[in-house]
Structure 1
């Protein structure tokens, strides 16, 4: 009797490499976006990135606007607006401070959400560790190689928006099944950011530089920063506990430091590396010792 040939199983990357690749993809997308700043300025680049990501997600998931209830819109609006402002302020911060430090400061948002949701005494240790990390990069008067304080404020604002996005994402997940809410939220984010991109981009004469190569680069930013990492993270979360997911997410500042060094030539001081290590340790510690229930919301 002849054996029936088996169809080859589709190749799937294991969950941990998937998340590491997602982190590299997100930070690589940010580094690629930063190369567009001289010609377009951060607001125009943020607008193109979010708009193209919204189009990609809409084409993939095809959300039905007519089926969205009033409760659905109430959940979507803060989610999408926070996502849009997060992207805008994050890109504005990248113009002023290194990629790794912008990511480190932005992590204050999800870290703060985790700490506020916890009642464990040990979390005060993680909060103190994160605060120590931030103190390492505060632009003290007279310090050498001071960071731009406006860039730091913008990155922290992006972090606050990330925290709101996580909170609002929990409400969206309760109303929408599957990725429909993410696709609609990204569309709201695009509508939020687009006016800034049009007005400020015009002042920067950004649209004079619009060309097919520039659009393809912006499309690459959208894919690297949203579509690819989102797909990898969702695939990993099917088999990986949320706790492990959160710990691996804590590696993003270090990934950003390596990507910034290789692709942007951004060299960090020893104290800045210490700041990154402190915030990473605090983020991993909160995830490891925090409550075992809860939802991890990925950065989009």
Structure 2
């Protein structure tokens, strides 16, 4: 057990804020390079930087299975491609509200306390209010379908990520490289030379830092010390953060019902942080 459990909690929270802020900035690039282009920029730039910094080829002496590393990379690629596709059809906050069901299911499956169910149910209520609160627009079923698929892979990310978390930054670098090998060809096919526009590259660098490099390194640290159930429930705060980021950056308006959903989700996160007990 970590000698100070507050640090893993803070790492998970900081990673969540960073990735949702990056997601909102990423959507601003959709008109120029499309969803696959944004995924290519995010993962491609991240892979280059992390390869230089962490030298993941040294993992061969760490005892971590390369099968797990490859699975981790594939999950990263699919999680990004699918959620960006969802962003193209529905608001960021609604897409994340659906996607976060993946970690919640992972948390439920690994739960060992009755009180954990309360936080999961409260989070589910918040997600419902966030998704159902938009009375002015018809929700595009394509966006919902992509979000559900992304939820599946985000749930796998929590599970697979713990298997490779012992490698720290090296695991992230290796997984990111595999993910980039999948997404960059797809993004290049969609966006072509638009990916090399200086303004696009600069924004892509910001998205890569906020959405990939910083949060995944924080996730590696927090997943190493937090049980999957606690980490998964903490991630339920993502809809609240994404809703605020979407409102500030993208001007995606929130209804009173959606604000109620944010409060429900944040209450669940606070309950988890205050009352959950790590499994020994």
Map of 1:235-246 to 2, 5 A cutoff?
242=226
When residues 107 and 229 of structure 1 are mapped into structure 2, their CA distance, relative to the original with a 3 A threshold, is: same
Q: Verify the 8 A CA contact 1:111 1:283 in the aligned structure 2.
A: no
SS of structure 2 residue aligned to 1:266: coil
Who is 1:132 aligned against? Answer: 125
Instruction: Tell me the residue number matched to 1:220.
Output: 206
User: Which segment drifts farther, 114-123 or 45-54?
Assistant: 114-123
Cα 1:135/1:91, change in 2 over 3 Å: same
Could you tell me how far apart the structure 2 residues matched to 1:247 and 1:82 are?
19
User: What root-mean-square deviation, in Å, do the aligned CA atoms of Structure 1 and Structure 2 show?
Assistant: 3.6
**Structure 1: gaps (5+ residues):** 1-13, 295-300
Residue of structure 2 in register with 1:4 after alignment: none
Matches within 5 A, 1:92-241: 92-136=85-129, 144-173=136-165, 176-199=166-189, 201=190, 205-208=191-194, 210-230=196-216
| Structure 1 residues 17 and 160: alpha-carbon distance in aligned structure 2, compared to 1, 3 A threshold | closer
Can you list the C-alpha shifts for 1:180-236, whole angstroms capped at 9, x where unaligned?
A: 11110111111222333233x1xxx5534631221122112111222234556678x
Output the CA distance in 1 between the equivalents of 2:120 and 2:16: 24
TM-score of the superposed pair, with normalisation by structure 2: 0.80
Measured in 1, the distance between the counterparts of 2:10 and 2:113 equals 31
Match for 1:271 among 257, 261, 274?
Answer: 257
Question: Which of the numbers 65, 68, 80 marks the counterpart of 1:72?
Answer: 65
User: d(CA) in 2 for partners of 1:105 and 1:41?
Assistant: 21
Distance in 2 separating the partners of 1:49 and 1:232: 17
Contact kept? 1:139, 1:149, Cα under 8 Å: no
Q: Is the 8 A contact 1:103 1:253 kept in 2?
A: yes
Q: 1:291 to 1:156 in 2, by over 3 A?
A: farther
Partner secondary structure for residue 41 of structure 1: helix
Per the alignment, do residues 255 and 133 of structure 1 end up closer, same or farther by CA in structure 2, a change over 3 Å counting?
closer
Q: Is the 8 A contact 2:103 2:154 kept in 1?
A: yes
Deviations 1:99-133 (A, max 9, x none): 22222222111111111111444444444434434
Q: Could you state the TM-score of these two structures normalised by the residue count of structure 1?
A: 0.75
Question: Which structure has the larger Rg over C-alpha atoms?
Answer: 1
Comparing 222-231 with 152-161, greater Cα deviation is found at: 222-231
Structure 1 residues 258 and 178: CA distance shift in structure 2, 3 A: closer
Is this contact kept in 1: 2:73–2:179, CA < 8 A? Answer: yes
Measured in 1, the distance between the counterparts of 2:157 and 2:22 equals 20
- 3-state DSSP class of the match of 2:90? coil
1:37 to 30, 34, 37: 30
Give me the whole-angstrom Cα distance separating, in 1, the residues matched to 2:14 and 2:62: 36
Of the structure 1 ranges 35-44 and 226-235, higher mean CA displacement relative to structure 2 is found in 226-235
Identify the structure with the greater helix proportion: 2
Q: How much has 1:276 moved relative to structure 2?
A: 3.5
